[in-house]
């Protein structure tokens, strides 16, 4: 239940809407919805499509080799989003958010070629790090949720402790500087 409730899609939808609001209030929510579509909804539809076709086991894409197929597909949707946002003159903060997501995906893919890092903790940690940059350090008070996500991934035996810790560090260490640099 924790893994499903705090899965990457839900973090992505939350961070896109919250960053959209921060960037441009009501108009920003529109940008956030566009980002949520390309970065959260389209990727999960792609994953479910592959699951139905038997390309990978389930929506959590547990096998590392399967992730090597899924992540580039997600990257294509996120890259399309950042390109569309730049073309349509989206708020800089939204472009920074999506660019940070894309760079984080590149890092996740690079590690995934040799090891199964936790995408759940990378996404949740990166989302909170960017929200802290946008809204202030009080957002870091939500970091126990990242620990909860990590605990659930280990408890379900989907990841080792090392994989969730590396995911947590990777998400924040990749997303935050990219977001800060571009915004």
Q: What is the pLDDT of residue 3?
A: 85
Q: Minimum mean pLDDT among 53-67, 71-85, 169-183: which range? A: 53-67
Please say whether the dihedral angle defined by the alpha carbons of residues 141, 144, 147 and 148, taken in this order, is positive or negative.
Answer: negative
pLDDT in tens, 76-90: 999 999 999 999 999
Quote the pTM value: 0.96
Confidence of residue 6 (pLDDT cuts 50, 70, 90): very high
Q: What is the pLDDT of residue 39?
A: 99
| Span 8-33, pLDDT tens digits | 999 999 999 999 999 999 999 999 99
Using one digit for the tens of pLDDT, what is the confidence trace for 109-128?
Answer: 999 999 999 999 999 999 99
Tokens 């202030």 sit at which residue? Answer: 136
Confidence of residue 44 (pLDDT cuts 50, 70, 90): very high
> Residue 57 has what pLDDT?
85
Q: Is the pLDDT of residue 1 over 90?
A: no
In this prediction, residues 64-85 reach a mean pLDDT of: 98
Q: HEC states along the chain?
A: CHHHHCCHHHHHHHHHHHHHHHHHHHHHHHHHHHHHHHHHHHHHHHHHHHHHCCCCCCCCCCCHHHHHHHHHHHHHHHHHHHHHHHHCCCCHHHHHHHHHHHHHHHHHHHHHCCCCCCHHHHHHHHHHHHHHHHHCHHHHHHHHHHHHHHHHHHHCCCCCHHHHHHHHHHHHHHHHHHHHHHC
54-64 tens-digit pLDDT: 999 888 898 99
């Amino acid at each position: 239940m924790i893994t499903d409730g705090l899965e990457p899609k839900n973090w992505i939808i939350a961070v896109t809407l919250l960053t959209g609001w921060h960037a441009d209030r009501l108009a920003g929510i529109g940008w956030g919805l566009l980002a949520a579509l390309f970065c959260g909804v389209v990727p999960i539809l792609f994953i479910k499509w592959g699951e139905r076709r038997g390309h990978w086991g389930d929506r959590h894409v547990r096998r590392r080799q399967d992730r090597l197929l899924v992540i580039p597909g997600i990257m294509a949707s996120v890259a399309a989003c950042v390109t569309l946002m730049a073309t349509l003159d989206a708020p800089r903060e939204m472009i920074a958010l999506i660019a940070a997501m894309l760079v984080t995906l590149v890092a996740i893919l690079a590690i995934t070629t040799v090891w199964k890092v936790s995408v759940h903790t990378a996404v949740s940690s990166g989302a909170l790090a960017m929200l802290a940059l946008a809204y202030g350090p009080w957002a870091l008070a939500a970091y126990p949720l990242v620990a909860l996500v990590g605990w659930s991934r280990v408890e379900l035996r989907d990841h080792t402790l090392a994989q969730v810790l590396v995911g947590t560090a990777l998400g924040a260490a990749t997303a935050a500087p990219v977001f800060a640099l571009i915004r």
